[in-house]
């Protein structure tokens, strides 16, 4: 699981060249869960080679699912019955994505347990949005200290109102609705990229889904789904955002190939107002027929702080996973940037780790932080934060910091980013992975 892996970075150098956007972590893990809806063979193409995917494959195999992987293709063949008692609990508890197994497993069992989820560590994260969504369909979820107990007496189509526009709760509602004949309406659904991926996959399974890309989804499910299907994972906006941030802080000219523009437009608008110079060319559509792609050409730019607080919103607002990158970008912008990370408890605290690289931050509370810039970042040795995006912004800062930095225990980065060392090296970064 690469627990002891470190990154060694000689920073302060400009980057150049082109890098292709990796495929979506959140899309891939949702589609792996969605494969349990299908009693036929599911082939997922362009699946990223990341630790989060590895954990879910381990879980699938442990409960009896045949999973064959060849490079970036994953072929999933379900058994006649699943054995949840044999579930690899260590793998399951290392990923919050295990929550998305609830929806598909409703069509295999009337009562079952799954382990408490893990993944990123940034305070309390409730499962109530999942509970409130699924209870309308006849499901009960009881949260215990080490597991969730899920039960139903029979699923029924219904109208669901999500009190929180949660990506995973929307996906669980879609998974449950996919196997229920009749129309289920999901209101205030997340229209985010991973949800659109799931909708596209469900349509390939013969499930009727209307309203893709909007906050109201209408689903007409099928009681039995057994088809041999192939589906390609689309490009990851947070991967593109990593390289946008890396180019900005190192004052580099690079091209990001295949960036999913619809899920970066607010971020690019704010950055343009801050002074970023870029061009978008070669518009096209990803293999899933849904995701709009462009090539982003970034130029070295002098940035000023955005005059308003920067905060996330459900799509089409600024993506919650892209927000942390503005913290490291702010270290290179003239003035004071205020970031309001209102969604997650305590995640903003991790942004103060940038101080170890010489940043000037002021934490107001667990959600709000200001960052002064521009700052000449300096090399340091830092233990990787246990949350994916905060860990990644330390890496971005180290690319700009003069001298040799060491980022220790980078498992949390490898959960979501594929082959990051080689891709940065291809742009001229001086970075190596070390097991010492």
* Integer Cα distance of 273 and 103 in angstroms: 41
State yes or no: pLDDT of 27 exceeds 60.
yes
**For domain 6-22+235-434, which architecture applies?**
Alpha-beta prism (3.65)
Give the pLDDT confidence score for residue 96 in this predicted structure. 79
Give the pLDDT confidence score for residue 95 in this predicted structure. 87
Mean pLDDT for all residues in the chain:
95
State mean pLDDT over 371-378: 98
Q: What is the pTM of this model?
A: 0.95
Query: Do 25-232 and 6-22+235-434 fall under one CATH topology?
Result: yes
* Integer Cα distance of 349 and 122 in angstroms: 9
CA dist 209 to 108, 186, 200, 212, 228, Å? 22, 11, 8, 7, 19
pLDDT bin (cut points 50, 70, 90) of residue 1 is very low
State yes or no: pLDDT of 119 exceeds 60.
no
Continuous H helices in 149-280: 167-178, 193-204, 237-249, 265-274
Tokens of 419: 């082959």
Helix (H, G, I), strand (E, B) or coil at 341: coil
State yes or no: pLDDT of 195 exceeds 80.
yes
- Looking at per-residue confidence, does 131 or 180 come out higher? 180
Strands 381-383 and 403-408: parallel
> The domain 25-232 belongs to what CATH superfamily?
Enolpyruvate transferase domain (3.65.10.10)
State yes or no: pLDDT of 125 exceeds 80.
no
pLDDT bin (cut points 50, 70, 90) of residue 220 is very high
Give the pLDDT confidence score for residue 124 in this predicted structure. 43
Which class for 86: exposed (0-12), middle (13-18), buried (19 or more C-beta within 10 A)?
exposed
State yes or no: pLDDT of 37 exceeds 90.
yes
Q: In which residue are the tokens 């997340």 written?
A: 190
pLDDT bin (cut points 50, 70, 90) of residue 344 is confident
Summarised one tens digit per residue, pLDDT across range 316-331 is 999 999 999 999 999 9
CB 435 within 8 A of CB 411: no
Summarised one tens digit per residue, pLDDT across range 419-433 is 999 999 999 999 999
CB 119 within 8 A of CB 142: no
Domain ranges (residues) in the chain = 6-22+235-434, 25-232
Nearest to 235 by CA among 209, 261, 204: 261
Buried b (16+ CB within 10 A) or exposed e, 266-276: bbbebbeebeb
Give the pLDDT confidence score for residue 3 in this predicted structure. 60
Summarised one tens digit per residue, pLDDT across range 235-291 is 999 999 999 999 999 999 999 999 999 999 999 999 999 999 999 999 999 999 999
What is the percentage of the chain residues whose pLDDT exceeds 90?
A: 89
Element (H, E) at 293: strand 292-299
Give the pLDDT confidence score for residue 104 in this predicted structure. 98
State yes or no: pLDDT of 143 exceeds 90.
no
State mean pLDDT over 190-208: 97
Give the pLDDT confidence score for residue 120 in this predicted structure. 47
Summarised one tens digit per residue, pLDDT across range 275-312 is 999 999 999 999 999 999 999 999 999 999 999 999 99
State yes or no: pLDDT of 67 exceeds 70.
yes
* Integer Cα distance of 417 and 49 in angstroms: 8
């Amino acid at each position: 699981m690469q627990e002891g892996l470190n990154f060694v970075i000689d920073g302060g150098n400009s980057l150049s060249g082109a890098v292709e956007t990796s495929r979506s972590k959140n899309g891939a893990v949702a589609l792996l869960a969605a494969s349990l809806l299908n009693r036929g063979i599911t082939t997922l193409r362009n699946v990223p080679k990341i630790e989060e995917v590895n954990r879910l494959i381990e879980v699938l195999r442990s409960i009896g699912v045949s999973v064959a992987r060849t490079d970036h293709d994953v072929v999933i063949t379900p058994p006649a019955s699943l054995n949840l008692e044999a579930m690899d609990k260590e793998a399951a508890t290392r990923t919050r994505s295990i929550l998305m197994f609830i929806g598909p497993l409703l069509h295999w069992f009337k009562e079952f347990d799954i382990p408490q989820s893990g993944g990123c560590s940034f305070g309390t994260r409730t499962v109530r949005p999942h509970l409130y969504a699924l209870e309308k369909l006849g499901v009960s979820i009881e949260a215990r200290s080490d597991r969730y107990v899920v039960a139903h007496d029979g699923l029924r189509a219904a109208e669901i109102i999500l009190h929180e526009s949660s990506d995973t709760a929307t996906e669980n509602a879609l998974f449950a609705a996919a196997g229920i004949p009749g129309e289920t309406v999901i209101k205030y659904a997340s229209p985010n990229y991973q949800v659109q991926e799931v909708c596209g996959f469900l349509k390939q399974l013969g499930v009727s889904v209307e309203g893709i890309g909007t906050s109201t989804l209408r689903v007409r499910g099928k009681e039995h789904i057994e088809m041999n299907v192939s589906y390609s994972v689309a490009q990851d906006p947070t991967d593109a955002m990593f390289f946008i941030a890396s180019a900005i802080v190192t004052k580099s000219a690079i091209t990001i190939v295949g960036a999913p523009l619809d899920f970066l437009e607010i971020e690019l608008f704010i950055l343009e107002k801050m002074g970023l110079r870029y061009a978008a060319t070669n518009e096209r559509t990803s293999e899933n027929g849904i995701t709009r792609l462009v090539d982003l050409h970034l130029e070295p730019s002098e940035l000023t702080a955005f005059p308003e607080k920067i905060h996330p919103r459900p799509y089409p607002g600024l993506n919650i996973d892209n927000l942390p990158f503005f913290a490291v970008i702010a270290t290179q912008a003239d003035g004071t940037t205020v970031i309001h990370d209102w969604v997650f408890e305590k995640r903003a605290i991790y942004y103060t780790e940038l101080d170890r690289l010489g940043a000037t931050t002021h934490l107001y509370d667990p959600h709000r932080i200001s960052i002064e810039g521009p700052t000449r970042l300096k090399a340091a040795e830092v233990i990787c934060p246990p949350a994916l995006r905060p860990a990644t912004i330390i890496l971005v800062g180290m690319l700009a910091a003069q001298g040799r930095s060491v980022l220790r225990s980078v498992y949390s980065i490898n959960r979501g980013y594929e082959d990051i060392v080689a891709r940065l090296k291809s742009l001229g970064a001086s970075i190596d992975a070390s097991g010492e």
